[in-house]
Structure 1
């Protein structure tokens, strides 16, 4: 069976995959999740966080080739990992994620979307180095179809998001192109507009485009369904 490495998005950590990991294990897969620098239990200072540091943390966690899943902003560091060491990755799976256009930063890509629902739900730090979700708007933006327990759990664990890695342009080439890729679009997403996800997914082969009828947080809204879809993708690889 497959080995999965799960990478969280902005302000989250390995904790967001808590319900997906056992579901993947029940399907016979090996699955792990890590904290990117300055997220979860990682204590890297915000000022030291870069896109390269995210990339290197991912690659350091890989001993044998993996199915590399990136949620939301993690589309950028998983792509960077593929460009740097494609031999370590069986497939990239973008879960309602930014699938990078070469030469763009995540901030620049976000601005390409015709709608910007995230902007009203976050606030920048006084020093301008990070941003955090506004607690009162977190549910409607990220977790509108998730249980009260999951929303409370998430709000207790959210951390500031460093801006620098999201403002860094990513150049991609032949190494990235050589890695197999899939895209899972979340049709009820209120963070990254689902129509913009469709635009990004258009670069993927039609048979590698999938959908889930969930919010931006399918790992809480439908962990069993997400695991089943990841299982389907792995079996077709």
Structure 2
């Protein structure tokens, strides 16, 4: 068997989720000799940073710090909200990124926030399920809607995992706009993996963001919003294929 060059992948989770969502994909990629860094965004998982102290810049700084510790270029992968983060990271350190990979992710143009994109997506079913806190610092998803929205095609085990790891989402980063330039973000090669059964980020919005960004390398998985949980092997295979294209 022909030996392929290993890659370093940096994986960034989305809203209402945490590093655990990448566990199987991470294991699959590591088995093939790749290095995988899974970033825990502040205010998610076990991180207790108060919601009022969070912004897109704080998320970006965390990912930049993780990448800066790596010797060569990396493949930077973001899901959902993570797409906003990896976009701003690519603006800051384009020379460290060989490819940006968006998986069912928000992909903003310069001057856009996640809320700008989400509010422009009438086909999304997320909005009616959101419950803001009294202080407006966090957003909850109605419990009876959570797995339906995020992993309707997943196993009961995967759904239970999403419920068990659920935390209210910090709200401030949703309204933070990105600032992008052709000289930095514009020079990084981009790939989009569409999630075809997604009811959080609709096909209409995914297609519009892909077209606006001029992305020509487009793949798809026939899954809900969380393909790394419902079809982790398919996601692993695509990420490996993307890595092999760099090596070839």
- Secondary structure of 1:41's counterpart equals coil
What is the TM-score when the length of structure 2 is the normalising length?
A: 0.92
Q: Distance in 2 between matches of 1:88 and 1:23?
A: 24
What is the TM-score when the length of structure 1 is the normalising length?
A: 0.96
1:92 aligns with 2:100: yes
Q: Distance in 2 between matches of 1:39 and 1:97?
A: 18
Structure 2 counterpart of 1:39: 44
Structural mapping, 1:52-91, within 5 Å = 52-62=57-67, 63-64=69-70, 65-91=73-99
Note the residue ranges of structure 2 that are not aligned, 5 or more in a row. 1-5
Q: 1:220 is matched with which residue: 212, 229, 242?
A: 229
Structure 2 counterpart of 1:192: 201
Deviation sequence 1:13-65 (CA, Å, 0-9, x none): 11111111111112331112121010001111111001100000001111222
Q: Quote how far apart the aligned CAs of 1:86 are.
A: 1.2
Structure 1 counterpart of 2:33: 28
How many residue pairs match? The answer is 236
Structural mapping, 1:174-213, within 5 Å = 174-202=183-211, 203-206=213-216, 208-213=217-222
Please tell me the root mean square deviation across aligned C-alpha atoms, in Å: 1.1
- Secondary structure of 2:10's counterpart equals strand
1:118 aligns with 2:126: yes
Q: Distance in 2 between matches of 1:147 and 1:231?
A: 24
Q: Distance in 2 between matches of 1:76 and 1:46?
A: 18
State whether residues 140 and 190 of structure 1, in contact with CA within 8 Å, keep that contact through their aligned partners in structure 2: no
Deviation sequence 1:109-163 (CA, Å, 0-9, x none): 1112232311122211111111022111112111100111111111111112111
Q: More displaced, 69-78 or 159-168?
A: 159-168
